[in-house]
Amino acid sequence: MTQARGFPAFGKSTRRARFARSWWGNEWITAIEDAALDEQQLRIGRKYATAGQVGPITVSPGRIAATVYGADRTPHTTTVHIAQLTDADWARLLDWIAIKAGYIAALLDRDMPRELASADVSLLPAMTDLEPTCDCDGWELPCRHAAALSYQVAWLLDEDPFVLLLIRGRGEQELLDDLEVRNGPPESMMRYLVIDAAARARALLAGEELPELTEDQDAARWAETYPELRAHLTAATGRELP
C-alpha cells in the first residue's frame, strides 16, 4: 500500500549556521552525526550536500537512496537503510497521536509537535537504526556520499514531516487512514463495502462456494483482507483478531 516518493535534486544551497530549520530536521542530523565514525567524512558530506552534488532522492519505507557525485564528479550509488517501526510500535504511536486532534492538524500543516518526541515510540532514529551503503571505496560509516545524502534528507524533513513517517514505514495516506479508523468508522468505509461486495459477487459468478461465517469469523476475514481496518474491527468486536 505504501509507495516510494521521489524528490528532485537540490541545487546549490546558501544555508549556513543551521543546516536544518525544523527541530525534527536537526534531530535527524544529530542521529546521523552520533552514528558517524569519522567526522571528516561528515564535513565533506556537508560540503557535497550544499554544493548540490546529490541527485534526485528516493524515499521508501526503511530506505533513502540517491546518486551522489564525488569531488571528481564520479557518480556513486548511495543508500541509507533505516530500521522501520514494527506493527506494535505503530499501533502505540498512532494511539498516542489519535488522542490529540491537534497532533493530526499539525502534521497536516507540515509541522511536527515536539510532544511526539516524548511518545513511547520514537519516530526519530537512533544511531543503531542506521545502515549506510555506497559503491565507493570508502570504508567509513557513513562515507562522505552517504553523509551528503543524509544531510539533504534533513531538508526534505523540514518541508514535510510525513517524509520521516515514510522512512519509518508508513506513507501519509496509510497513516491518515489508520488515524481515521482510530477516531471512528471512516466515511470511506463505503469504499471497502463496495470492494468486498464486488469481490464476493465475482467469486459467486465464477462458481465458487462462499462459506457461511459467524460475525467474529467475518470480522477476522475483513481484518485479514483489509489490514488498515484492523484497529476499528478490533474495537468493534472487543477482542484481538487473528
The CA-CA-CA angle for residues 53, 110, 49, to 5°, reads: 10
Q: How many C-beta neighbours within 10 Å does residue 57 have?
A: 23
pLDDT of 32 over the 70 cut: yes
- Looking at residue 155, what is its pLDDT? 95
Encode pLDDT of 154-186 as tens digits. Answer: 999 999 999 999 999 998 888 887 777 666 555
- The C-alpha cell at 219 is 470480522
pLDDT of 209 over the 90 cut: no
Going by C-beta distance under 8 Å and a sequence separation of 6 or more, which residues neighbour residue 156? 7, 57, 59, 163
Q: Looking at the whole model, is its pTM more than 0.75?
A: no
Where along the chain do its domains lie?
5-180, 186-237
CA distance 82 to 142: 13
Q: How many C-beta neighbours within 10 Å does residue 182 have?
A: 17
- Looking at residue 1, what is its pLDDT? 47
Count of H-run helices and E-run strands, the chain: 10, 5
